[in-house]
Amino acid sequence: MLNLIDLRRTKNGLAVKMIADEPVHYVMVAGEPSGDALGAALIKAIKREQPNAVCSGIGGPKMKDAGFEAWFGIEVLSVNGFFEPLLKLPTLIRLLLSVRKRAKTLPTAAFVGIDFNFFNLLLARQIKALGIPTVHYVSPTVWAWRSGRIRSIKARVDLMLTLYPFETEIYKAHGIPVRFVGHPKARSIGLEGHADRDRAARSSLDLEETAQVVALLPGSRRSEVASMMPAYLETVKALLIRHPALRFLIPAATPERGREISRAVEAAGLGQNIRVHDGEPLKIMAASDVVLVNSGTATLEAMLLRKPMVMAYRLSPLTYQIVSRLVTVSRFALPNILSQRPLVREFIQNEVTGLNLANALEQLLNDQDGKDWKDEYQRLHELLQGDLTDQAARPIIALAQGQTEV
């Protein structure tokens, strides 16, 4: 069979060989729906650069639609909490050994673990021992806490792909090849058209354009809802005294969370003031004037939607005492970490009171111009677009071809 070789020089200086006809096998493992979406986009980027690439392993429906051959579906890796992984440990070990065996047999050009850190980093150690290059997509939060994990990552991973630009520093400092590839939400939420999106969201929720709306996002876990809802409800009461016409919307992450939130709302006598919705957090935030949000990805989503926000986060006293000794960052809202300045007011632990949150939200409601944060939100949104082809697909292909500088 004739092999046609095309040597391409990328803008990163990588000389990537494209060999036609012969299949090049990549083993990939995603364990969650978010990883399935990341994997699908990565597969498409690799196949654009290397049409003869064959991707297989553990993945979901989006990866399958991108041409992925699933040995197992992502549901086999679905575990939650602390005890469930222990109960499923025999199954997880069998899966790990099965993927390792298949990777050895193919042969495999490179292994890509997509998020799902515990399983994929264990698997990466096994596969790297076979002499197969390993890639991990989505950095563990070593930049925020338990930074000592970086040593074991270095022993297992040949290339790290990060969602955020600031994550690359710790890997570079430890001599681990790393690429910032951008965040998928920054690509799925448009850079322009915010006013039209906001109007459409309000229309679909039967909200008047002139109504003042506050979105409340207490979190997706039962513990987060239990911890945050009392303070959120006190915040609503304080704001209604000053602004009786305010509307409040809560997107529940799951039906179970929705029932828990609704019970708390009714018990507080606020059933006429707060609407609880099943999911659709992006639509709820788009329809709002300001957002009160837990920490995490929701702060990024609010930023991408150009919404002023207040972040509040509270843990149990014991958990907070433990976590506060492990955390190495001084900012918690992603816009603040990305910008390295306080774009978003943060309230942590004992600072989380109804009065504090109400005062901060009222300040935002009275200052809708917000040119300073809007300009910075735009800059960060553009930065987070990244380049999946140049920063992920091409370095993976180069690594698979034996290049040491990726």
Residue-averaged pLDDT of the chain: 88
Question: 92-106 pLDDT, tens per residue?
Answer: 899 999 999 999 999
Question: 204-241 pLDDT, tens per residue?
Answer: 999 998 999 999 999 888 888 999 999 999 999 999 99
- Residues of the chain with pLDDT > 90: what percent? 70
Give buried/exposed letters for 257-266 (b at 16+ CB in 10 A, else e).
bbebbbebbe
Cis previous bond, 107, omega within 30: yes
Check if the beta carbon of residue 104 is closer than 8 Å to that of residue 388.
no
For 189-383, CATH number out of 3.40.50.2000, 3.10.450.50, 3.40.50.2300, 3.40.50.720 equals 3.40.50.2000
For 5-182+386-400, CATH number out of 3.40.50.2000, 3.40.50.300, 3.20.20.70, 3.40.640.10 equals 3.40.50.2000
Check if the beta carbon of residue 371 is closer than 8 Å to that of residue 140.
no
Cβ contacts of residue 324 below 8 Å, gap of 6+? none
Check if the beta carbon of residue 99 is closer than 8 Å to that of residue 76.
no
How far is residue 59's CA from residue 125's CA, in Å, rounded to a whole number? 20
Q: What is the pLDDT of residue 14?
A: 56
Show me where the domains of the chain are located.
Answer: 5-182+386-400, 189-383
User: In the predicted model, is pLDDT for residue 162 greater than 80?
Assistant: yes
User: In the predicted model, is pLDDT for residue 258 greater than 90?
Assistant: yes
Q: What is the pLDDT of residue 7?
A: 52
20 CB neighbour count, 10 Å cutoff: 13
Cβ contacts of residue 23 below 8 Å, gap of 6+? 52, 53, 54
User: In the predicted model, is pLDDT for residue 157 greater than 60?
Assistant: yes
Q: What is the pLDDT of residue 4?
A: 45
